[in-house]
Structure 1
């Protein structure tokens, strides 16, 4: 397996079809990279296929999948994985990430379901990750996921995430919004959780908005602006990890690009503030 490091830097934005037109005149700069969901672009031809190819030629890309279903009781879809590898190779994309969840059994579900936090599940998932990495010839990264129930829980979320990363020898896509959402829903200290994650495995970061369903319930939607406590958690992540590439997720209620750029600029400003002391130290 090839040892692949992150090929991107700066602040990124998820590529959605609604943004194909608005992004056409945007040059790499404030937006350092784009993220695509491969299932939305694989085997797509015509004008959308041509538009996607134009973007992969202009911007560095990462990919974030939805259907790997790494914790599913069903066998891995290896046909999908070989098609995914061909797609990544075609577009020269090194980074593939997925959710530490499952979304299928006999058929695909319409949500990302929590994997039981158990030692048995750790071993099961780790073996599947290793197989995925062998097929893709890439070291993948798994995202710490939002969840609303913990069936069969025998270990903490943090213990489970750490164990999966270690036994599968894969990396972490660090989602700071998911940490915040889970900390409210499951009543733990988000800063303590962040500090407990293995810094050396963080590939890149996701930041997003969510929905306040109730005082003690947050729903991970990617449909609103990032709130101050999540920005603060991102700031803490940079303090601990250094400046890590960070992607703004927005999946619906997508505002005009100018409004998204306000949040992209905020990421860039945070990164610049944390980069300055390190640059002086190495000067």
Structure 2
């Protein structure tokens, strides 16, 4: 698979405020790009705003939204979308992504809720994604999300995801941990889901840790280290589709920078191993 079309490269890290001082003063060489939630930075000024600007002037950034609520029946917040558009332009942000979920109903719910896997929902969500893309004048990437219930399910998760992406003509943010969590909780094969993803639409990927509530019940927390089966799933994804930009998410229980860089280093190592192997193959 041709990897030259990506607007990013390498291994990324989610930029959280507790990390900002360290990253501004001593940015690691092995982090290829950073990700932020625009909701957390659009209105930030003062010292934090200046520090953030100093980062976006030096490094590649992507935005991963939290509140667009693509699956909601509430009106799309076009004022917010316009604010995001300005933020992307001001900081030369490479990509904007969001969750295939909803988080509002007559006000914010402060959680990412599952969209029913129905044909009606496909049409509804795809139309909202198209409207966002029209306003932003660029494609966005949609993330496959973790979910713990599937109300009104008429189709499988992968069929629903692929239908939305196709009808909206958007890109994909591939979350490997979410595939693993959902496959465990809902009893399907993670490899089969991965093989059915529209690989040509992948913009970048997430990898993260989760909480083990029970053997058959995992909770997507982004608050722990990445486990070996998820690393193996990322390796499998590279084998299937080639190397794509991949970002480490850590939102809670944030460890010392050295521990985060070890996991970023694992992403880099997997990417380099694939590149070495691919380079040996005849054209």
Looking at structure 2, the residues matched to 119 and 173 of structure 1 have their Cα atoms a distance apart, in angstroms, of 22
Looking at structure 2, the residues matched to 185 and 103 of structure 1 have their Cα atoms a distance apart, in angstroms, of 21
**What runs of 5+ residues in structure 1 fail to find an aligned partner?**
none
Looking at structure 2, the residues matched to 270 and 176 of structure 1 have their Cα atoms a distance apart, in angstroms, of 14
Residue deviations 1:128-165 (CA, integer Å, cap 9, x gap) = 10000000111000000000000000000000000000
Note if contact 2:13-2:33 (Cα within 8 Å) is conserved in structure 1. Answer: yes
Looking at structure 2, the residues matched to 6 and 85 of structure 1 have their Cα atoms a distance apart, in angstroms, of 20
**What runs of 5+ residues in structure 2 fail to find an aligned partner?**
none
TM-score (norm 2): 0.96
Kindly indicate whether residue 144 of structure 2 is the aligned counterpart of residue 144 of structure 1: yes
Kindly indicate whether residue 43 of structure 2 is the aligned counterpart of residue 43 of structure 1: yes
- Alignment correspondent of 1:242: 242
Kindly indicate whether residue 182 of structure 2 is the aligned counterpart of residue 185 of structure 1: no
Note if contact 1:103-1:111 (Cα within 8 Å) is conserved in structure 2. Answer: yes
Looking at structure 2, the residues matched to 247 and 51 of structure 1 have their Cα atoms a distance apart, in angstroms, of 21
Looking at structure 2, the residues matched to 75 and 278 of structure 1 have their Cα atoms a distance apart, in angstroms, of 47
Note if contact 2:24-2:51 (Cα within 8 Å) is conserved in structure 1. Answer: no
TM-score (norm 1): 0.96
Residue deviations 1:207-263 (CA, integer Å, cap 9, x gap) = 000000111100000000000000000000000110100000000100000110000
Looking at structure 2, the residues matched to 214 and 171 of structure 1 have their Cα atoms a distance apart, in angstroms, of 33
Residue deviations 1:6-43 (CA, integer Å, cap 9, x gap) = 42110000000000112123446300000011000002
SS at 1:68 equivalent: coil
Alignment of 1:72-221 (within 5 A): 72-221=72-221
Note if contact 1:94-1:138 (Cα within 8 Å) is conserved in structure 2. Answer: no
- Alignment correspondent of 1:260: 260
Looking at structure 2, the residues matched to 265 and 82 of structure 1 have their Cα atoms a distance apart, in angstroms, of 36
SS at 2:213 equivalent: strand
Give me the CA root mean square deviation.
Answer: 1.1
Note if contact 1:20-1:51 (Cα within 8 Å) is conserved in structure 2. Answer: yes
Give the length in aligned residue pairs. Answer: 279
Looking at structure 2, the residues matched to 280 and 32 of structure 1 have their Cα atoms a distance apart, in angstroms, of 24
Looking at structure 1, the residues matched to 231 and 103 of structure 2 have their Cα atoms a distance apart, in angstroms, of 29
Looking at structure 2, the residues matched to 135 and 6 of structure 1 have their Cα atoms a distance apart, in angstroms, of 22
Change (3 A) 1:34 1:164: same
- Alignment correspondent of 2:231: 231
Looking at structure 2, the residues matched to 100 and 157 of structure 1 have their Cα atoms a distance apart, in angstroms, of 11
Looking at structure 2, the residues matched to 109 and 138 of structure 1 have their Cα atoms a distance apart, in angstroms, of 28
Looking at structure 1, the residues matched to 186 and 136 of structure 2 have their Cα atoms a distance apart, in angstroms, of 35
How far is 1:86 from its partner? 0.4
SS at 2:225 equivalent: coil
